[in-house]
A = this chain, B = another copy of it.
Amino acid sequence: MADRWTAAQVEEALARLPGWVHGDNTLERAFTFADHVAAMGFVVRVAMVAEVMNHHPDLRIVYNRVELKLSSHDAGGVTERDAELARKVSALVEPRTG
């Protein structure tokens, strides 16, 4: 089990995770796509990445918008694993903006 990060540790990690914010014991980010089809393509890729890590986001889909909340429930807050998942999720979308 990874150790729960202090608020300072979370803030330090967020400096290298553009777009992510510090929620209630979570890392959070919302993504908006052209339409529901594009949003679902993203959701499936997130699910595959999460399944390989065996670390799963709280994920909400509202048409073309996908909201993610990452937390390590066993540690009661944010850990290195959440930052790692956040990095991998960001990598899924960044190439499309290039």
**Do the beta carbons of A60 and B58 come within 8 Å of each other?**
yes
Report how many residues on chain A are interfacial, defined by Cβ distance under 8 Å. 26
Residues of B within 8 A of A41 (CB): 41-42, 44-45, 92
**Do the beta carbons of B95 and A34 come within 8 Å of each other?**
yes
Select which of B34, B48, B58 is within 8 A of A40 by beta carbon: B48
Copies in the complex: 4
**Do the beta carbons of A59 and B61 come within 8 Å of each other?**
yes
Known: A37-B51, A59-B61. 13 other contacts (CB 8 A): A34-B95, A36-B50, A37-B45, A37-B48, A40-B45, A41-B42, A41-B44, A41-B45, A43-B43, A43-B47, A48-B51, A59-B60, A61-B61
